[in-house]
């Protein structure tokens, strides 16, 4: 009789469905149950004391850990081949928890300037309140990265696929630069998802997600997650190596080794900021993960067809999708996202009044939903110049990397021909 095959390297789809959950010993529940509880009865006073001292692996309080959330965490950690993961209440919280775990007042971060606007705002304004300074550089310019790094730099930060430029970052080169400066490289992998890119396998040390997007995939739950490789040497990295005054002078790296960062993020930062994921949202995000590869293949297929269609339309000035051969990031996309560089991209409308054309285009659409999100199963659209950035002049728009006729699409899972029909009739109406 063959033994349980513990040496097999299971494939991505198998892990999508099975990692992080063994059917429960008592009920045998096949689906991951929703543990909608705040707290957990301790085995004994002795056990409780050891649990609070982190000497036991166990459930403490849902603000710190929860079995449903833990299944989500282990599953996504397995998909990106990390040592583990910590889920958070949102993608913004994932960033903040990561940075608050790593940084102290006076520390600095060097980040790509091709970032989600909310991230940039957090890095500039909220970090300032914490005494942390962020510098932003052109992600393609490695001289600029090096020039911005100094003795206070504690982390490098970039997005796998940046918007609205559709830029793909050279992760392995950036990871080498980070390591040579004793910094972890943090990659926001939201747009690529664990299926299209595994940043840790390219040398990044921390990968994080707004799980709200393609991971959940159905536009119903806000959530975030931090995955860590377990490969960064924190022995000379102050916050993780030094005794922690908030945990009886515990040295997280010395005691937990490859789990040091993750333990500190969970039992200090998430504990103290209250930025935990709700178990119900964790359950919904798990449902998303179970079909991730199948959905992403279709998202990419639809995105590719639409990008090619738009590129040939006379009303379209440009299409910033790295899946297109015309993109300056095509080579990097093939290297880091060989199955396709996601399904969120921007394009520009041509004409004398591109801002007005953008407004008319949005009004004419029937299937694309006009809203501020990406990564839904449904196709989404937004025209920054008439919504999020409407207060800016044309010149100010261009300075912030957005042109008046720029439209951002998040391509969903609808029938490809129907999406092409909707875009075509809207382009004819402007």
Partner 1 sequence: MGSRSGAACDLTSHSLLTAEQKAIYQAPDLVRRTLGFASSVAIVGLSTKRQKASYFVATFLKSRGIKIIPVHPKADRILGEKVYPTLKDIPEPVDVVNIFRPSHECPIYAAQAVDINAKVFWLQLGLFNEEAATIAGAGGLDVIMDLCIKMEYGRYDGTMRFLGMNTGVLTSKKAQIGRISSHEDVDLSECLL
- Which residues contact partner 1 by CB under 8 A? 3-12, 14-15, 18-20, 22-26, 28, 43, 46-47, 50, 53-59, 65, 67, 69-71, 73-74, 77-78, 81-87, 198, 201, 229-231, 233, 243, 248-251, 254-259, 262-263, 266
CB-wise, 233 or 418, nearer to partner 1?
233
State the Cα–Cα distance between residues 208 and 404, nearest whole angstrom: 31
CB of 79 to partner 1, least distance (A): 8
CB of 31 to partner 1, least distance (A): 13
Neighbours of 10 (CB within 10 A): 13
**DSSP string for residues in 384-428:** GGGTTTTTS-HHHHHHTT--TTEEEEE--SS-HHHHHHHHHHHHH
CB of 341 to partner 1, least distance (A): 19
CB of 355 within 8 A of CB of 343?
A: no
CB-wise, 238 or 243, nearer to partner 1?
243
CB-wise, 249 or 391, nearer to partner 1?
249
CB-wise, 43 or 138, nearer to partner 1?
43
**DSSP string for residues in 108-129:** EEEEES---HHHHHIIIIIHHH
CB-wise, 82 or 405, nearer to partner 1?
82
CB of 243 to partner 1, least distance (A): 8
Strands (E) in 205-364, as ranges, are 206-210, 224-228, 316-320, 344-349
CB-wise, 94 or 407, nearer to partner 1?
94
CB of 122 to partner 1, least distance (A): 23
- Burial of residue 254, with CB atoms counted within 10 A of its CB: 0-12 exposed, 13-18 middle, 19 or more buried: middle
CB of 233 to partner 1, least distance (A): 8
Ranges of H-type helices in 291-373: 292-311, 330-336, 354-364
CB of 191 within 8 A of CB of 160?
A: yes
* Residue 211: strand, helix, or coil: coil
């Amino acid at each position: 009789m063959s033994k349980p095959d513990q040496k097999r390297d299971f494939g991505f789809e198998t892990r999508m469905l099975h990692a992080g959950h063994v059917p429960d010993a008592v009920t045998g529940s096949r689906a991951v149950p929703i543990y909608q509880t705040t707290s957990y009865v301790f085995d004994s006073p002795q056990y409780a004391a050891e649990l609070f001292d982190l000497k036991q692996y166990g459930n403490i309080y849902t603000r710190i850990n929860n079995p449903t959330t833990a299944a989500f965490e282990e599953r996504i950690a397995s998909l990106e081949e990390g040592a583990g993961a910590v889920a958070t209440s949102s993608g913004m919280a994932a960033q903040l928890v990561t940075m608050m775990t790593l940084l102290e007042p006076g520390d600095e971060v060097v980040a790509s300037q091709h970032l989600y606007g909310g991230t940039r705002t957090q890095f500039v304004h909220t970090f300032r309140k914490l005494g942390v300074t962020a510098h932003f550089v052109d992600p393609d310019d490695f001289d600029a990265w090096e020039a911005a790094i100094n003795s206070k730099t504690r982390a490098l930060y970039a997005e796998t696929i940046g918007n609205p430029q559709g830029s793909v970052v050279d992760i392995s080169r950036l990871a080498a630069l980070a390591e040579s400066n004793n910094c972890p490289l943090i990659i926001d992998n939201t747009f690529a998802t664990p299926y299209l890119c595994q940043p840790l396998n390219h040398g990044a040390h921390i990968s994080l997600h707004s799980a709200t997007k393609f991971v959940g995939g159905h536009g119903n739950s806000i959530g975030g997650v931090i995955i860590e490789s377990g490969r960064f040497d924190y022995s000379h990295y102050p916050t993780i190596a030094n005794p922690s005054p908030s945990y009886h002078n515990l040295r997280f790296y010395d005691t937990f080794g490859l789990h040091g960062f993750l333990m500190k993020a969970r039992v200090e930062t998430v504990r103290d900021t209250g930025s935990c994921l709700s178990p119900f949202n964790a359950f919904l995000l798990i449902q998303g993960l179970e079909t991730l590869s199948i959905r992403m293949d279709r998202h990419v297929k639809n995105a590719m067809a639409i990008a090619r269609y738009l590129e040939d339309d006379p009303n379209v000035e440009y299409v910033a999708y790295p899946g297109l051969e015309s993109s300056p990031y095509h080579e990097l996309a093939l290297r880091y996202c060989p199955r396709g560089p996601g399904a969120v991209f921007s394009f520009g409308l041509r004409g004398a009044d591109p801002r007005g054309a953008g407004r008319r285009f949005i009004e004419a659409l029937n299937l694309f939903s006009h809203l501020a999100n990406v990564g839904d199963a449904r196709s989404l659209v937004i025209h920054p110049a008439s919504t999020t950035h409407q207060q800016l002049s044309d010149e100010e728009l261009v300075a912030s990397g957005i042109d008046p006729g720029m439209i951002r699409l998040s391509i969903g899972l609808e029938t490809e021909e129907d999406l092409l029909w909707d875009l075509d009739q809207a382009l004819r109406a402007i």
